Structure 1
Amino acid sequence: MIDSSRTTGWLISSDCVLSRSPLRDCATSDYTDQILKLTCSDSVRLLNGSSLCSGRLEVKSNQSWSSVCEADFDQQDAEVVCRELGCGPPSVLQGALYGEVEAPVWSKEFQCGGHESALLDCRSSGSAGNSCSPGKAVGLTCSEPVRLVGGASHCEGTLELKYLGEWRPVYDSLWSFKKAAVLCYYLDCGSAVSVTQRKESTWRSKWSISSDCVQPGILLRECAASHYNQFILNITCSDSVRLLNGSSLCSGRLEVKSNQSWSSVCEADFDQQDAEVVCREFGCGPPSVLQGALYGEVEAPVWSKEFQCGGHESALLDCRSSGSAGNSCSPGKAVGLTCSESDDVRLVGGPSRCAGTLELKHLREWRPMGYFHVSWTMKEAAVMCEHLDCGSAVSIEAAHSSYKAVWLIWSSCIVSKTPLRDCAISDHLDQILKLTCSDSVRLLNGSSLCSGRLEVKSNQSWSSVCEADFDQQDAEVVCRQLGCGPPLGLQGALYGEVEAPVWSKEFQCGGHESALLDCRSSGSARNSCSPGKAVGLTCSGRRGAAALMWFKITLFFY
């Protein structure tokens, strides 16, 4: 993508191109200052691969594509092809890895020195044959040129990608711990420790790469687009320990790296204090489970020393160790570790623990959560209120802040109830989140945020409310308390039946109170309800909807 003077062009979505629909069916006239420039290799291609940098090799000559026989191709030839295609060095060269020979067959043997810029620039000699045995077609996999620079080791620093012969920083605002973990593994580093989005003082060209592209088996260069901005990504991976095959970033089978090789750790050489150090090194909570083979069995080689951590060290390899009695483990004795990852979240600065600025403790640091337009809605607010054991969500708003850094969390992470630390990105925004939850009432299982089965909180416990102890005036108070409109329906068990415990008093609201627990009440004759008698309440839509919409539109243009 390059800048040009503004002109009329055809706008065609990438989905249309990938589906191979006729381009004219997707073309829309548009007025833009961005046009596309595309460069293809005119003489070599890789077919049927798992990425753009892998596949069965074919060479073009005299307007015809020919298969290449494995016997006529070696490692130096592979280096030239990978460079010509803008990929990293060859990682696998294996016959028929991506399909068998197809006629016609290239009739010469390549004799590259490895420094040439194109395969057809290499010297060649007549091949002894012009056909290949089945399974002898060149199958080539090139690596991807990705690196972290400017850090204390090759496992931390600014993320850069070499594409079209040029190293540039990579940027996309949606990168998260999960995405960083894929990259750390690719770089032969340990688990992901942090992801930071940083603003530079000057603008320069970057490779913009969607976070959706960061998955095992997909090359970053397949998604790279030229972009011009001030932001870069800094990623820190652990360079000496990692957890594999876990259900989250804070669990898995433990491996330790030494002398450029990863080793399994035997359960007999690892204890609770060692586990505390590993969990802290990854920025996770304390260890919750330490069990052999929980995430797979031992794989060779096996770490030959017993760890003797005090529990206070910042990294596992900082711990003292002694020679282990054995250098192998019985099957099922590999260290399987689960660190706790319950998110430390709080609301501060409000009138109660259920209202205020939303903060997350991550990497041992409390920071507010940043507000980014089109990211947070009442739906996300409701999930956070539930997480905080507060009532229903009442309001969400953005506030200006002078904080130096915030945690940026995307709404998709909240709704899916993914651990927030897996999605946290360090960022610099001047908008932070303020959230108000009801601290004493909530509506459950409703079709909207203003409907559901009513529960009341007292003494840190939630109780069902019996329909016989609740009337229309009580409902008016609850709907107002939750920031909703007047009650539309009040029907027992509309959103589920009574669950123990049951509220033991009858509400006697006048209808003007601001909160249900401000109402007078009297002792109820019962402490249980007949099935189907739980309060089911439906309030009309949220008050101030127009103001909220204006607020969101204003932020969007902001």
Structure 2
Amino acid sequence: MDRLLVLLMLLWSSECEDIRLAEGDGRCAGTLELKRGEWTKVDIRDWTLKEAAVFCQHLDCGSVISLLNRKLSSKTVAWYVNHDCGQSGFPLSDCGRYEHTFYAQYLICSDSVRLLNGSTISSGRLEVRSNHQWSSVCETDFDQQDAEVVCRELGYGAPLIIQGAFFGEAPAPIWTKEFQCAGNESGLLECKSSDSAGNTCSPDRAVGLACLESDDIRLTGGDSHCAGTLELKQGDWRPVDGQNWTLEAAAAFCLHLDCGAAVSVGERRESSNRTVWRIISDCVHSGSPFRECITLGSSSLLLNLICSDSVRLLGGNSLCSGRLEVKSSQPNHQWSSVCEAGFDWQDAEVVCRELGCGLPTVFQGVLFGGVEALIGTKEFQCAGNESGLLECKSSDTAGNTCSSGRAVGLFCSGSFRLVGEASLCTGTLELKHLDDWRPVEASAWTLKAAAVFCKYLHCGSAISLQRRVASSSRYLWRVSPHCFRHGNEKTKCITSTYSFFILYLTCSDSIRLLNGKSLCSGRLEVRSNQSNHQWSSVCEDDFDRHDAEVVCRELSCGAPLTFQGALFGKAAAPIQKKEFQCAGNESGLLECKSSDSGGNTCSPDRAGGLICSEPVRLVGGDSRCAGTLELKDAGVWRPVDASGWTLEAVGPVCLHLGCGPAVSVGERREFSDKPAWLIERYCDLSGLDLRECITYWHSSSAVNLVCFEIQVQPNISVSSSMDGVSQVQQRRFQVSRSSKLTITCSIQPQLSGGFFQLIFTSSNTAFSYSRPAVNHLARFVFPAANPAHQGNYSCVYHLLSHSFSSQSCLLSVTSSNPTALIIRWVVVPLTLLMVNIALYFYRKATRGQRPSRQQNMELVVCTLYVSAAEERPDEEGEAQAAEQDLHGTHLISP
């Protein structure tokens, strides 16, 4: 139940109760007391100011102004009411408990003005109390000076909005006086007033007012106004409790103080407890004013906050990304964006270091939208080792103008980085926690789990994961992979540990596969250079088998299986305008030669998707379908530990290897532990991508596996409306022109799902068609055969969930002219028959003899045998789908 709703229920249920504010300057200020036989102080120390406002309303006072904690001269009994109490609407006297305390809460409400129906306690429709009656104020009788007095009276900053009916029409009477404030009065009713020009005012002209939150917030004891112990003023200045703060939560205070980004949060311990403000971070994140989010508390840990003085990143999805702005020291301390033309890699390194954000990964214009601030006219000339951007040398840019589209946006690695190598996408993984950079301990991590860091660092796909031994044991950060991957708060997933083993991660610099079922499948995207955040899809027309071999090798996957447009969805990113010309032996795609593609446009549905095989094998057995299971990662083949394997679990491995079902699973013992792969126990092997499930291990046992040697291979059959049905075993089939040609692909019933590719090749062209496997088969219908259909056909079955592909035998199809067939099968036999009849009668006439039973000529007819699988009636819609014209698709056969 919403906390405010609970409080309103409490208020409703306590209407008949005796509640008062005692020992104050008036009826609307004092210590909150409840009559339970005798007057007893009410302890509401964990209530926020917004929640305490219900008591002001109950007492017919105005808006709430402050809630203070006052120390009593002696310990006393108080009635403690917390937020869980009263959810069922019980009166205050029935909801709470007695406690002994030295403190009481002192509540101050205004006695003559209030703001109603606003989204915050600093906004709403203005009402004034006179003669025990509340009245709205007409906007024509209210001006800027009047508004300044009201906002000051309620403890806020300058007025922001003064407008009629902004917070609804007025149900109460309309005030008939015009206020004439000078602006320096302490309360609205202290201002002069006169009868308004008109004594009537319509309800839609009742003035609404919004005040700026007061500037009662500061950082003290630091080197500048942007560093120190955080303090808030609500009646009294008090520090903020320092427990459980994150940089993300504290960033709102830096913004409020007109400082830059939040750089660090910490705790300053005092010798004893003192009264502090506790801030509800969720309340701050929701955009509510700070005064609505604080409660009174006691603590010896105070919040120390450091904000940057002069740089900040705005509009990003983290504290370490966004549009870069710089605050000038002279003359007016104004924030300005930075032009990308005056900013380079060394400048970016300084900014990321100044913000405590690791290393730069990307900087580029218009990464984070248009620019509202001014564009700086200075070009920075950092050496890269400065501690702050304004310490760098600078000069005027060649041109003093820079379009809003060139304001630089910056990505830093944030609280994660890969160090020790030249590439930002390879190295020892380090994490910043509690302002301390440490390597991440390597236990329990899999490549799939670690892929999140590649994405976080704006690198490509995850390639390999290694567990390296440090030169000596040290304190490392242990990060729970499952906790981190499931979106939990980072601080809840991290502990300190003492270990030798550190995590070494390799991500690709420039290529990635997206939306695939595994790390080795997905839509291919390429990034041209490190300083460019833009990833581009690759058009299928500009990519061939050699290119695919390079990509699969670069990602440490097996041989390429398929490359086809829109296999993994349409392209969201721009389309690459280069055609790659790889020889096939390059180590990376960007090492290949390239040229401008023939056409500079490529539709999103032709963005190429790639499937590479998984590097898995069985070795040491009697056949390729038996032996010790090994997996290749980072160029190294290692056996798989035998722990936890069952016959059911290894079934997908047999299918992936193109073998039949699993027959047996066992283990091979070694004399000592050796490097091995351990399959992570949470991994779902039904989707077979073992590289996503492995973690580095040492073991003396490896899994031995025996599968049936029968390879699951699809069948292909062909039929024609004129020429019958044939299986591929005949290898050739002749179809009559203009007849309907149907090619059927099928697979054994032990496999379900997946899709078929029908591959067509001829002397001068190659095409492919794809259809889902329904009841283990798919039909491809060509309504009118013609010479363009002459060539070789084969069926390729793909089961992506198992990374399995298998190809049928080839079928050669030729076409013939129906007229020639008529001549061959009708005219020629009839002519021969007539000739035989003529010869018969001729011989009879000339020789007078009866013909013998023995024929002098036999007609030999070659019959095409129909397969056992009879053709079924076409399903509705199949012919329509297959009647489309042949369309080109780059083909990669398994």
Confirm or deny: 8 A CA contact 1:67 1:106 kept in the other structure: yes
Confirm or deny: 8 A CA contact 1:12 1:27 kept in the other structure: no
Cross-structure match for 2:198: 129
Per the TM alignment, residue 412 of structure 1 is displaced from its structure 2 partner at its CA by 12
1:199 aligns with 2:266: no
Q: Given the superposition, is the C-alpha separation of residues 272 and 368 from structure 1 closer, same or farther in structure 2, using an over 3 Å criterion?
A: closer
Pick aligned residue for 2:396 from 320, 323, 332: 323
Cross-structure match for 2:231: 160
Q: Distance in 2 between matches of 1:364 and 1:36?
A: 37
The aligned runs of 1:391-470 (5 Å cut-off) are 414=484, 417=487, 420=490, 433-434=496-497, 467-468=646-647, 470=665
Q: Distance in 2 between matches of 1:84 and 1:409?
A: 51
Query: What are the Cα deviations for residues 82-122 of structure 1, in whole angstroms up to 9, with x where unaligned?
Result: 333233x1241321343455542222233444444432233
1:108 aligns with 2:177: yes
The aligned runs of 1:514-529 (5 Å cut-off) are 517-521=698-702
Confirm or deny: 8 A CA contact 2:477 2:497 kept in the other structure: no
Pick aligned residue for 2:335 from 262, 265, 268: 262
Per the TM alignment, residue 13 of structure 1 is displaced from its structure 2 partner at its CA by 2.0
Cross-structure match for 2:161: 93
| Higher-RCO chain (CA-CA 8 Å, sequence separation at least 6) | 1
Confirm or deny: 8 A CA contact 1:439 1:457 kept in the other structure: no
Cross-structure match for 2:138: 69
Q: Given the superposition, is the C-alpha separation of residues 306 and 360 from structure 1 closer, same or farther in structure 2, using an over 3 Å criterion?
A: closer
Cross-structure match for 1:303: 376
% of aligned pairs identical?
46
Higher mean displacement: 334-343 or 24-33: 24-33
1:120 aligns with 2:193: no
Pick aligned residue for 2:121 from 29, 52, 64: 52
Pick aligned residue for 1:24 from 59, 83, 91: 91
Counterpart residue type for residue 496 of structure 1: S
SS at match of 1:279: helix
SS at match of 1:205: strand
SS at match of 2:351: helix
Q: Given the superposition, is the C-alpha separation of residues 339 and 8 from structure 1 closer, same or farther in structure 2, using an over 3 Å criterion?
A: closer
Confirm or deny: 8 A CA contact 1:176 1:423 kept in the other structure: no
Query: What are the Cα deviations for residues 177-231 of structure 1, in whole angstroms up to 9, with x where unaligned?
Result: 1111122112222111111111123432211112222225211211222222212
SS at match of 2:370: coil
SS at match of 2:398: coil
Confirm or deny: 8 A CA contact 2:129 2:135 kept in the other structure: yes
Normalised by the length of structure 1, the TM-score is: 0.66
Q: Distance in 2 between matches of 1:155 and 1:249?
A: 17
Q: Distance in 1 between matches of 2:478 and 2:311?
A: 27
Cross-structure match for 1:286: 359
Q: Distance in 2 between matches of 1:527 and 1:318?
A: 70
1:185 aligns with 2:252: no
Pick aligned residue for 2:686 from 487, 496, 521: 496
SS at match of 1:78: helix
Q: Given the superposition, is the C-alpha separation of residues 103 and 302 from structure 1 closer, same or farther in structure 2, using an over 3 Å criterion?
A: same
Higher mean displacement: 305-314 or 463-472: 463-472
Confirm or deny: 8 A CA contact 2:445 2:481 kept in the other structure: no
Q: Distance in 2 between matches of 1:124 and 1:276?
A: 61
Q: Distance in 1 between matches of 2:373 and 2:692?
A: 57
Per the TM alignment, residue 168 of structure 1 is displaced from its structure 2 partner at its CA by 1.0
Counterpart residue type for residue 24 of structure 1: P
Confirm or deny: 8 A CA contact 2:125 2:206 kept in the other structure: no
Counterpart residue type for residue 213 of structure 1: C
Counterpart residue type for residue 124 of structure 2: G
Cross-structure match for 1:151: 222
Counterpart residue type for residue 315 of structure 2: N
Per the TM alignment, residue 252 of structure 1 is displaced from its structure 2 partner at its CA by 0.6
Q: Given the superposition, is the C-alpha separation of residues 246 and 412 from structure 1 closer, same or farther in structure 2, using an over 3 Å criterion?
A: farther
Cross-structure match for 1:510: none
Q: Distance in 1 between matches of 2:155 and 2:250?
A: 23
Q: Given the superposition, is the C-alpha separation of residues 276 and 167 from structure 1 closer, same or farther in structure 2, using an over 3 Å criterion?
A: same
Per the TM alignment, residue 326 of structure 1 is displaced from its structure 2 partner at its CA by 3.2
Q: Given the superposition, is the C-alpha separation of residues 416 and 76 from structure 1 closer, same or farther in structure 2, using an over 3 Å criterion?
A: farther
Q: Distance in 1 between matches of 2:105 and 2:631?
A: 59
Pick aligned residue for 1:211 from 255, 259, 281: 281
Q: Given the superposition, is the C-alpha separation of residues 160 and 254 from structure 1 closer, same or farther in structure 2, using an over 3 Å criterion?
A: same
Q: Distance in 1 between matches of 2:697 and 2:294?
A: 55
Query: What are the Cα deviations for residues 263-320 of structure 1, in whole angstroms up to 9, with x where unaligned?
Result: 1222212122211111111111211111210101233422121122121111111111
1:343 aligns with 2:343: no
Confirm or deny: 8 A CA contact 2:312 2:325 kept in the other structure: yes
Q: Given the superposition, is the C-alpha separation of residues 98 and 517 from structure 1 closer, same or farther in structure 2, using an over 3 Å criterion?
A: same
Query: What are the Cα deviations for residues 123-182 of structure 1, in whole angstroms up to 9, with x where unaligned?
Result: 33333234446456142223232222222322222111111x211111151221111112
Q: Distance in 2 between matches of 1:527 and 1:339?
A: 52
Cross-structure match for 1:375: none
Confirm or deny: 8 A CA contact 2:665 2:706 kept in the other structure: no
SS at match of 2:406: coil
Q: Given the superposition, is the C-alpha separation of residues 65 and 525 from structure 1 closer, same or farther in structure 2, using an over 3 Å criterion?
A: same
Pick aligned residue for 1:43 from 104, 112, 125: 112
Per the TM alignment, residue 25 of structure 1 is displaced from its structure 2 partner at its CA by 9.4
Query: What are the Cα deviations for residues 430-483 of structure 1, in whole angstroms up to 9, with x where unaligned?
Result: xx744899999xxxxxxxxxxxxxx99997789697645756999xxxxxxxxx
Higher mean displacement: 121-130 or 240-249: 121-130
Per the TM alignment, residue 413 of structure 1 is displaced from its structure 2 partner at its CA by 8.6
Normalised by the length of structure 2, the TM-score is: 0.43
Q: Distance in 1 between matches of 2:445 and 2:291?
A: 36
Query: What are the Cα deviations for residues 233-263 of structure 1, in whole angstroms up to 9, with x where unaligned?
Result: 1111112111111011110111111222211
Q: Given the superposition, is the C-alpha separation of residues 62 and 11 from structure 1 closer, same or farther in structure 2, using an over 3 Å criterion?
A: same
Confirm or deny: 8 A CA contact 1:265 1:298 kept in the other structure: no
Cross-structure match for 2:432: 361
Query: What are the Cα deviations for residues 330-387 of structure 1, in whole angstroms up to 9, with x where unaligned?
Result: 34211111111352699xxxxxxxxxxx995358734799xxxxxxxxxxx9789955
Confirm or deny: 8 A CA contact 1:390 1:438 kept in the other structure: no
SS at match of 1:185: helix
Confirm or deny: 8 A CA contact 1:464 1:498 kept in the other structure: no
Question: How many residues are matched?
Answer: 449
Counterpart residue type for residue 368 of structure 2: Y
Extract unaligned runs of 5+ from structure 2: 1-44, 46-68, 420-428, 454-464, 468-474, 504-628, 648-663, 670-680, 713-750, 753-800, 802-894
Q: Given the superposition, is the C-alpha separation of residues 495 and 410 from structure 1 closer, same or farther in structure 2, using an over 3 Å criterion?
A: closer
Counterpart residue type for residue 519 of structure 1: S
Cross-structure match for 1:354: none
Q: Distance in 2 between matches of 1:384 and 1:161?
A: 46
Extract unaligned runs of 5+ from structure 1: 347-357, 370-380, 392-402, 425-431, 441-454, 475-489, 505-514, 535-558
Counterpart residue type for residue 317 of structure 2: S
Higher mean displacement: 286-295 or 119-128: 119-128
